[in-house]
Chains A and B, each alone.
Chain A
Amino acid sequence: MTDAFDVNTTATSALRAGRTARAAAVALAMLCASTAATAYAATQAEPVKGGEITIVNGSDIKSWDPAVTSGTFPGGPMDMLDAVYGFIVYTDVNGKVQGGMAESLTSPDAKVWTLKLRPGVKFTDGTAYDAEAVKFNWDRAADPATLAPAQAFVASWNKSIKIVDPATLEITLANPDRNFGSTLAQLAPFIASPAALKAAEKKTDIKPVGAGAFLLDSWNQGVSMTMKRNPGYWDQPRPYLDTLKFVVIPETNSRISTVVQGGATMMAGYPYQFGSNAEAAGVTTHEIPLPGLYRAYFNQTKGTFTDRRAREAFYEALQRPRLMKAYTQVEGYIAPTNYFTKDSPFYDATYKLPDYNPQHAQELFNALAKDGKPFDIKIVTYSNSDLKRLGSYLQQSLGAYENVSVKLELVDQAMLTPTCKAQGNFDLCVDGGVLVSNGAEPIISNLLSSKGNDNWGKYNSPAMDKALASANATMDPAAVKAAYGEVQKIVAADLPLYIFGSETRHLLIRNNTGGIVPSNGGILQKQFLFVCKEACTTK
């Protein structure tokens, strides 16, 4: 048995990881699930068995398809899937890949990866969680008919999977990828019972049969779901909770009220949303220490922003701290000067984003008009109150300049992705929330590479693709830093995105919540959660 609160396992893992110099760098990053919680949970109270925790979120999953993964927002669909299926590997808050349902994922050269499964793990239908099951799930995700967000990623290596033995898979990538583990953790981490998947005629028929910490007990789709502990979970005595509930409450303020009042245990959000509620009796906040960027996408395939001067003018025309104030109604934001925030190991002060310079912005607007390319833009965002304020601020501030015309279009949140990403029907598209920025893959490549899944503006730069590929291919930290230096240089030169703020995600939680172990930028490791006998989390 491994214990997240047993520091000996850390030492053991470190010893194990030190066998070869080159493998050490990778292996140290990949090994031992059991150490993941140590840094975060050790300061909390002793785990208590039993009890119930309720996580509130704004939306529900559409099906139990393990291949349909989305995002990193805590409490969301990934959390629900994780509770039942469990991450095969996951990225901890230090960006290190840890074993989850699998024991380890290692590679000596970032090209050939070995996934070692835990012996004896079974799905809740009694079938084996073995190499065949893992391969079946990944082959299914690679099939375009499954419509998995990870299809292209998995299809690039699933044909090379070699089953060494029932507990070992070997994956050979076409090119070395230092970040293979973290990409896998985000895009294809869930393994369901092949029998359950085969039995389902369509996605909505899929029964949630996994080997994760919890079993689905009841589900009122779009309203709530209740899970009970999986008595056969591999990592006993976890999970600690008897019951885990997810409740869907679309309104942010209602979610906050529910947690403050004690009707639920936790929700995710940002400090500006919590306001003084974070100071209420019985609640506290928990920071997920991964900086993320507030960003808007410039459409680089058509319209005004295909001209770099327009993108530069946009930066220079606006005071980004004021924009953040309009968005959050909170003072004190500092505009990011760079793609990487200052606390990132990759931050390079040399390559700065343009600062506020209204005179120069006006000159650029005039020059664009003179060249027959008037600054005439359509801003698309979705219609929540925060983004409406942000949109209005952009419209009013830019409206103060000459030769500028701004139209604001608000769409339903569900329609933002189809409108911007699928149809490209925008000049500037503003998405809500943050994207984790500090080098965490696959987010940076998704955002900036020409084939990136989050590259809504269709930014296409061979130099950027090359720099990102270099950062992924090398195991040498100095070379990684140099490659990300190049990324920053290109970002400052091309201005592919409008980066207007940075923030970390927070949880608003009841102060008797223990075992908070975030993974993949925010998803909680549910098996570690417990209810303390008394307040155990400080403000």
Chain B
Amino acid sequence: MTGLKPYAKAVSTRILAGIPVFLLVTFGATALSSLAPGSAAQLILGDNATAEQVAALNSAYGYDLPLWERYLKWLGNLLQGDLGQTLFSQQPVLDVVFDRAAVTFEIAFLAMALSLVGIPAAMYTASHPGGIADRFLRSLSSLLLAVPTFVIVVLLSYVFAIVLRWLPATGWANFTDDPIANLWYVALPVICLSLHQTAYLYRVARNEMITVLQEDFVQVARARGLSLSYIMLRHVLRPSMPQILTVMGLSLTYMLAGSFVVESYFAVPGIGWTVLTAVKSHDIPLVQAILSLTVVIFVIVFMLVDIGYAIIDPRVTVS
């Protein structure tokens, strides 16, 4: 039990540290909705609504309250587990967010899993520096890092959906409804989302491994005649993991929070798509809920990364 104590302390510390961030971000969302031109009521009611009707709806939703009062009201409801209803479809916000988050999580985790191919590639090229594979993968990763995701999205969509017609240009099927169709639809978004992160992970892992390969303990292992693959797995990979883990944590948050380009282009009904639509339509309860979820995800991911450090390297203390 004592072994778990530091972890519990670390978790609670990070949760506490995440609270101000959470408050700041959600308050910002509330404030931004006040700064944006027009009102949600106007958009809901349409062009024919009179000023009185708009004012009445604003009052019903509490949008006529001062900013701080509106925020506190939202926070109070949140503590009771009530995030309200979406303004347009009048669905429970939590249902919508969880429904859409499941889609984004699936894409992000699959993209994360795909990007892990960067690690064995890095192990191979780090152990054969200057070789053809090393030079090729360095050039390729530089290229992928230089090309923004929105260009990759258009390019891959053109090649695989329009020219080759191997994969669908847009669409979505839930895994529970049709697993095969789900994988078919998810393929292009996952590839697009993972390419950049694969290249990033590959370069960081390769550089870290090349550094570790210069360490004395690796030289000793080599002198003892251990095989290169054994050395890479047992003596190089583990010391490189803290850096790799950091990149993976950043990648995961990037994939979760930065999925809107991929989702909107491929018409994937995830969090990214939803937040774009919600911002455009001033669906403030939905925007706040998604931002809250994003903050929570960031805090959890970075907490897991910190705990991961400690598991990998006992010299690191989680507290």
A residues apposed to B, CB below 8 Å: 56, 62, 68, 144, 147-149, 151, 202, 204-205, 220-223, 247-251, 253-255, 257-258, 260-264, 277, 280, 411-415, 417-419, 421-423, 425, 453
Contacts and interface: CB of A to CB of B under 8 A. Distances in A.
B48 A254 contact: no
Interface of B: 36-39, 42-50, 53, 88-91, 154, 157-158, 161-162, 165, 168-172, 264-267, 269, 273-274, 276-277, 279-282
Contacts of B282: 414
Contacts, number: 109
Contacts of B157: 254, 257
Contacts of A277: 162
A263 B264 contact: no
Contacts of A247: 170-171, 267
A521 to B, nearest CB: 19
B47 A221 contact: no
A147 B37 CA distance: 22
A453 to B, nearest CB: 7
A485 to B, nearest CB: 31
B42 A204 contact: no
B297 to A, nearest CB: 22
Nearest to B89: A221
A147 B170 contact: no
Contacts of B39: 418
6 contacts: A222-B89, A250-B267, A254-B169, A263-B170, A414-B280, A418-B42
A258 B274 CA distance: 20
Contacts of B50: 144
Per DSSP, chain B at the interface is loop
Q: Most chain-A CB neighbours within 10 Å: which of B37, B50, B269?
A: B37
A251 B265 CA distance: 6
A413 B45 CA distance: 16
Q: Most chain-B CB neighbours within 10 Å: which of A223, A247, A425?
A: A223
A257 B277 contact: no
Q: Most chain-A CB neighbours within 10 Å: which of B47, B49, B282?
A: B47
Contacts of A249: 170, 267
A261 B165 contact: yes
Contact of B43 (A411, A414, A425): A414
Per DSSP, chain A at the interface is mixed
Nearest to B279: A412
Given A62-B88, A147-B49, A261-B162, 20 more contacts: A68-B46, A147-B46, A149-B48, A204-B88, A247-B170, A247-B171, A248-B267, A251-B264, A254-B264, A255-B170, A257-B161, A258-B168, A414-B43, A414-B280, A415-B43, A418-B38, A418-B43, A418-B47, A422-B38, A453-B47
Contacts of B161: 257, 261
A221 B47 CA distance: 22
A411 B276 contact: no
A417 B45 CA distance: 12
Contacts of A148: 48
B264 A147 contact: no
B170 A254 contact: yes
B266 to A, nearest CB: 7
A251 B165 contact: no
A205 to B, nearest CB: 8
A147 B38 contact: no
Q: Most chain-B CB neighbours within 10 Å: which of A147, A151, A413, A453?
A: A147
A250 B277 contact: yes
A412 to B, nearest CB: 5
A237 B99 CA distance: 39
Contact of A260 (B45, B48, B169, B280): B169
Nearest to A54: B171
B251 to A, nearest CB: 25
A204 B264 contact: no
B39 to A, nearest CB: 8
Contact of B90 (A204, A415, A453): A204
B170 A223 contact: no
B47 A202 contact: no
A487 to B, nearest CB: 24
A467 to B, nearest CB: 25
The list of the 3 closest CB pairs from A to B, nearest first, reads A257-B169, A204-B90, A418-B38
B277 A222 contact: yes
A253 to B, nearest CB: 7
B38 A415 contact: yes
Given A149-B46, A149-B48, A249-B170, A258 B90 contact: no
B46 A220 contact: no
A372 B43 CA distance: 38
B47 A422 contact: yes
A151 B267 contact: no
B162 A280 contact: yes
Given A62-B44, A220-B269, A263 B171 contact: yes
A418 B37 contact: yes
B267 A149 contact: no
A54 to B, nearest CB: 9
Given A144-B50, A414-B43, A263 B91 contact: no
Contacts of A56: 170
Contacts of A262: 165
A416 B310 CA distance: 53
B267 A147 contact: no
A72 to B, nearest CB: 16
A258 B169 contact: yes
B47 A412 contact: no
Contacts of A257: 157-158, 161-162, 169-170
Contacts of A204: 88-90
A222 B268 CA distance: 11
B263 to A, nearest CB: 10
A19 B53 CA distance: 49
A12 to B, nearest CB: 41
A253 B46 contact: no
Contacts of A221: 88-89, 91
A421 B267 CA distance: 30
A412 B170 contact: no
A248 B268 CA distance: 10
A235 B234 CA distance: 75
Contacts of B269: 220, 222-223
A147 B91 contact: no
A69 B53 CA distance: 19
Contacts of B274: 222
A15 B150 CA distance: 61
Q: Most chain-B CB neighbours within 10 Å: which of A220, A253, A263?
A: A263
A153 to B, nearest CB: 11
A64 B167 CA distance: 34
Nearest to B51: A422
A201 to B, nearest CB: 10
Contacts of A263: 168-171
A149 B47 contact: yes
A425 B168 CA distance: 43
B48 A147 contact: yes
Q: Most chain-A CB neighbours within 10 Å: which of B38, B44, B264, B280?
A: B38
Contacts of B273: 250
A149 B44 CA distance: 13
